[in-house]
Structure 1
């Protein structure tokens, strides 16, 4: 799971975010402790704590004194909103720029996406 070249604390934070988005870590559920994350990923607890602190600062996790860290209400929607915006920046903006270069309108792009999506769906069910 650990990727070379990316800060470990960011990878830890992202793995917790993935669990929240996927639903395996529900809102108001107790999040893994810093020590659990460190042991699981075989990293320094201070590194895991930095990832957890980042999620706390973003409002994804909150602390219950003496009990542990918990997933904040609304955390899943917050994370989905962030990821959707990042998706648009990373994939849609370059796609639209290339479409303009090729003389494609937004309707042309939408039609191409729809055709590809239905083809992918059809191919997936045909197997």
Structure 2
């Protein structure tokens, strides 16, 4: 999937990027990854964050929220974890997952760049 590879390479160009994945939130499987480290297993993180996405979607359903979920931010001591559902028809059920070094990242710019990557993604 060249589009996926280009998108993942693009996420790694975001200042502070440590790792990224394109994830199927139905199965929890990472379709592709980029970056990562000895301390960050992206396939394990992808599966774990699938539960986060599912929980948020269930909560929105129970609350009858009809708005589109733009992204989910998890803030740790040294990292930001951004989860952005893919909104295109072909990407339905997928999300982009990006881990950033908190000291090197500009969160607003990272969100803006991740949105542009997601909108250009055709899976």
What band does the TM-score fall into relative to the shorter chain? under 0.3
**Which entry has the higher C-alpha Rg, 1 or 2?**
1
Q: Compute the TM-score of the two structures, normalised by the length of structure 2.
A: 0.25
Larger relative helix fraction: 1
TM-score by length of 1: 0.25
